[in-house]
Structure 1
């Protein structure tokens, strides 16, 4: 360390933060052949479960780098976690239940149409080692117990000089980086250095996670399987709502205690406090169960999103919780972090390799900031919806007696009972939006310089239904690539259109009369170095359209084409052939990649 204290280390890419955002960014940049350094204040990867539900659209990104099976192997999946319950206790009466995360029949159908992947319950403590292992084996070095002290501009350069501190030895050293990425959480030093402003709403409450072990599988029949169990006991938990969250069936749990305002009842408690054991046993409904508490993690509910994720003229970017901060409602936190990274990584790689102009990087904030803002808004709206259910069940009343009275009303053959049951029904129906929320991820679409819209004569197709729940499948530029199952002619192994796309390259999909497009793409790739893969889909072509789903969703003729970006979003399409395919495709790529100032 003494030499490091005096010397300046040079790196191309410095990532600050090794959570889902930073570690996945390192993975996706490594996939593109880049090498760099990742630092983190923490001593290692996450030691608590934190984020857990991993949606199919984030899993698609891991599928792209060969990590899907690894993720599935460390996850819980299927009916074990695909429900949300409101109950007296784990063994007590059930007041309501919602099918979640792909379990609802409509969600099953929509997911089958939209993606080759599935929902997983993949705690952050299991996800992060998967990402760190891949990135560290493919060109990125990790330095834990290391913090960012400062970032300074280097005059006459877009490089940054960063001062890092080893938190073990307290030695400081300098790193000169061509690019800096702030994936350093809600107290981001990188965002502070950039002077970024946030849209901030007042805090909506506080919470405390109690991580514990208790073997209660014998108390949970199949009919009571769920990933989340909201405990309703106004007599024992006044003005507090605990949720038992499954980590590992059936012996690892988090007891999430939610409070509508500041509450000091846990302030002086420790994992050894008998009061906590008593609370958990009451929530389980069996005082004979042995409970071992590992730790307490208090946290606050945030609602903020950065106005932008970068500053023009600086090769410094933020992503993940540094950019958007919100409660865990919708279970999209780590998913959005990973999707931020997937969007950013290929753009940085193309600019760094000279395949794209630096203006391409401006599209990152333009595309991802609206996605983050939407998530923050919807997550906090659903937090309120949580409170509405709890209010309906008497959990937020001022007295235990009033809470018990509201619960009793649910059983009364009276007008008051009718009203109480109606309120509970309506609030649980709203919770379905959160638990069937595939549209919130599936319907993300981009309008930026990295999408070519000049050839579109009509507006983007209108989504029919609720944008949080329902989905839009289209090749309209800026939309996700539609998923369709393909195969070679002799039926060997199904493959998705998503498996052909990605891998750090552009992909061109053509039909029976698209040979001119294939020839054009090959010439451009050879002349410019831009990686372009071309696949013809149809009977007798490269792949057959097994269920005819590509035919139904492609929205171009047999002599047209669909150009897909490395992040599997549609960059452009030509509904039919054009007089000079090579010139047109080159024009589109020059626009999408901001190549006007580059030599061909």
Structure 2
């Protein structure tokens, strides 16, 4: 979650039980690594490169090169390509679609800041007089020049070259169906909007439970579930890639224009424009302040875009087209465009299970806390169960709301969001997506959808 402070706080608190935290990638990765070690201590291989991935009729052969050992061939039923877009898509013959362009001082912690040990990330676009490749000395010089601190003491940890890419793989699954692309291997999204990692995590969240159900034999026929991965995730990735590229361009098109700076102007002209923005005595001060406020509204798509963050949904899950009449409860605007700024909670199939605070006895949890990776969740208005779910081989757990011995809604609009009637209920996938909604008499609700 981003941008939840100040005037946006209430909006974010209503949407999610989670609060905002700054956690740069170099701080997050050790946490993920430690958790992975707990779950599978023998399954992590370091200093090991994947040389090739070959798909046969019944398996996938992954050839790896160990740093201090021979090459090995590993066999798998399925492979997830999460290599950051370095080789997997190209090796599978999957093309890329979109735009690529060449690529700020950002705190990396620790928090609270300590000037003696604080770390920063510095990113910059290439200038005409820059070398084609930065070595350590050239980058230190560039940082000092940009910050106008010629004597700044810098300990440079690493230098890397990257390109701002707004591209999405043509397919998220190999022709043979056994290799899947996730994360940056499937889409390279510019950092403007900070949704690249979010989108990659969403890929994994969407795919992992489907693979688990398939491998356990809990879904028939097996491929019917895996077939939904690309259908659901690729449109989302394309939308986020477009939105991030739009945010990037908005910096120049909106904010730079409002302030009056431009790469085509001299340093003196840009400095004069900046002075006018900060100098209350300058005749252009008031106009520039208003222009910048207007530009900030445009940039809400980057810094406060709950619609983009949480309002995205999978249209293909809405097999009965329930969202058409309400424009998916407002997530689609009257002009038929997606509402990027505002999140509209909904239980229409394909949408996320909305966050509501639930209470039973002295326990208070979010409705999202009821989700479990190994089960579907049947969330109902009464203790009446959908017993026919067993006929469709769907493992599920049952919870009921606002009835005897059930969860009570302490805050939130349960009756506005959930199906009407005493026996109304929603069936939620392990990834938190509404699968369908209705009542126990709708035996045909799942027929033709899941099997």
Distance 1:280 1:542 in 2: 60
Structure 2 partner of 1:112 = 13
State yes or no: 1:384 paired with 2:249: yes
Distance 1:149 1:547 in 2: 53
Structure 2 partner of 1:180 = 79
Cα deviations by residue, 1:17-55 (Å, 9 ceiling, x for unpaired): xxxxxxxxxxxxxxxxxxxxxxxxxxxxxxxxxxxxxx3
Give the drift of 1:300: 1.5
Structure 1 partner of 2:365 = 495
Residues 141/409 of structure 1: CA separation in 2 closer, same or farther (3 Å cut): same
State yes or no: 1:124 paired with 2:25: yes
Structure 2 partner of 1:198 = 96
Are 1:452 and 1:591, in contact at CA under 8 Å, matched by a contact in 2? no
- Secondary structure in structure 2 of the residue aligned to 1:382: helix
- Secondary structure in structure 2 of the residue aligned to 1:142: coil
Structure 2 partner of 1:371 = 236
Distance 1:543 1:264 in 2: 62
State yes or no: 1:359 paired with 2:229: no
Q: Once superposed, what is the RMSD of the aligned Cα atoms? A: 2.9
Alignment partner of 1:401 out of 264, 268, 282:
268
State yes or no: 1:531 paired with 2:403: no
State yes or no: 1:442 paired with 2:310: yes
Structure 2 partner of 1:327 = 190
Give the drift of 1:118: 1.9
Structure 1 segment 405-444 matched on structure 2, within 5 A: 405-410=272-277, 411=279, 420-444=288-312
Residues 573/175 of structure 1: CA separation in 2 closer, same or farther (3 Å cut): same
Structure 2 partner of 1:151 = 53
Distance 2:440 2:75 in 1: 48
Distance 1:274 1:164 in 2: 36
Distance 2:65 2:109 in 1: 34
Alignment partner of 1:248 out of 99, 102, 110:
110
Structure 2 partner of 1:275 = 141
Are 2:134 and 2:159, in contact at CA under 8 Å, matched by a contact in 1? no
Distance 1:261 1:446 in 2: 42
Structure 1 partner of 2:418 = 554
Distance 1:377 1:457 in 2: 24
Structure 2 partner of 1:510 = 380
Give the drift of 1:260: 7.0
Give the drift of 1:279: 3.6
- Secondary structure in structure 1 of the residue aligned to 2:353: coil
Residues 158/263 of structure 1: CA separation in 2 closer, same or farther (3 Å cut): farther
User: What is the count of residue pairs matched by the alignment?
Assistant: 435
State yes or no: 1:161 paired with 2:161: no
Structure 1 partner of 2:35 = 134
Cα deviations by residue, 1:498-528 (Å, 9 ceiling, x for unpaired): 111233210101113x5143x445xx1xx67
Give the drift of 1:256: 2.7
TM-score normalised by the chain length of structure 2: 0.87
Distance 1:408 1:528 in 2: 68
Are 1:104 and 1:436, in contact at CA under 8 Å, matched by a contact in 2? no
Unpaired runs of at least 5, structure 1: 1-54, 56-99, 207-241, 596-600
Give the drift of 1:123: 1.7
Residues 292/278 of structure 1: CA separation in 2 closer, same or farther (3 Å cut): same
Give the drift of 1:483: 1.0
Distance 1:179 1:340 in 2: 15
Cα deviations by residue, 1:300-329 (Å, 9 ceiling, x for unpaired): 211211122113542110010011112211
Residues 184/351 of structure 1: CA separation in 2 closer, same or farther (3 Å cut): same
Cα deviations by residue, 1:251-291 (Å, 9 ceiling, x for unpaired): 424243432766625845515976356347636xxx78654
Residues 548/429 of structure 1: CA separation in 2 closer, same or farther (3 Å cut): closer
Are 1:329 and 1:379, in contact at CA under 8 Å, matched by a contact in 2? yes
TM-score normalised by the chain length of structure 1: 0.66
Give the drift of 1:116: 1.3
Are 2:78 and 2:178, in contact at CA under 8 Å, matched by a contact in 1? yes
Residues 473/176 of structure 1: CA separation in 2 closer, same or farther (3 Å cut): same
Residues 270/290 of structure 1: CA separation in 2 closer, same or farther (3 Å cut): closer
Give the drift of 1:535: 0.6
Distance 1:158 1:570 in 2: 33
Residues 341/263 of structure 1: CA separation in 2 closer, same or farther (3 Å cut): farther
Residues 433/104 of structure 1: CA separation in 2 closer, same or farther (3 Å cut): farther
Are 1:309 and 1:323, in contact at CA under 8 Å, matched by a contact in 2? yes
Distance 2:307 2:318 in 1: 24
Alignment partner of 1:484 out of 356, 360, 364:
356
Distance 2:403 2:217 in 1: 38
Residues 516/304 of structure 1: CA separation in 2 closer, same or farther (3 Å cut): closer
Are 1:247 and 1:253, in contact at CA under 8 Å, matched by a contact in 2? yes
Cα deviations by residue, 1:512-561 (Å, 9 ceiling, x for unpaired): 3x5143x445xx1xx67632111111142321111253233213322111
- Secondary structure in structure 2 of the residue aligned to 1:350: helix
Cα deviations by residue, 1:42-69 (Å, 9 ceiling, x for unpaired): xxxxxxxxxxxxx3xxxxxxxxxxxxxx
Are 2:346 and 2:354, in contact at CA under 8 Å, matched by a contact in 1? yes
Which protein has greater RCO, CA pairs closer than 8 Å, 6+ apart?
1
Distance 2:97 2:72 in 1: 34
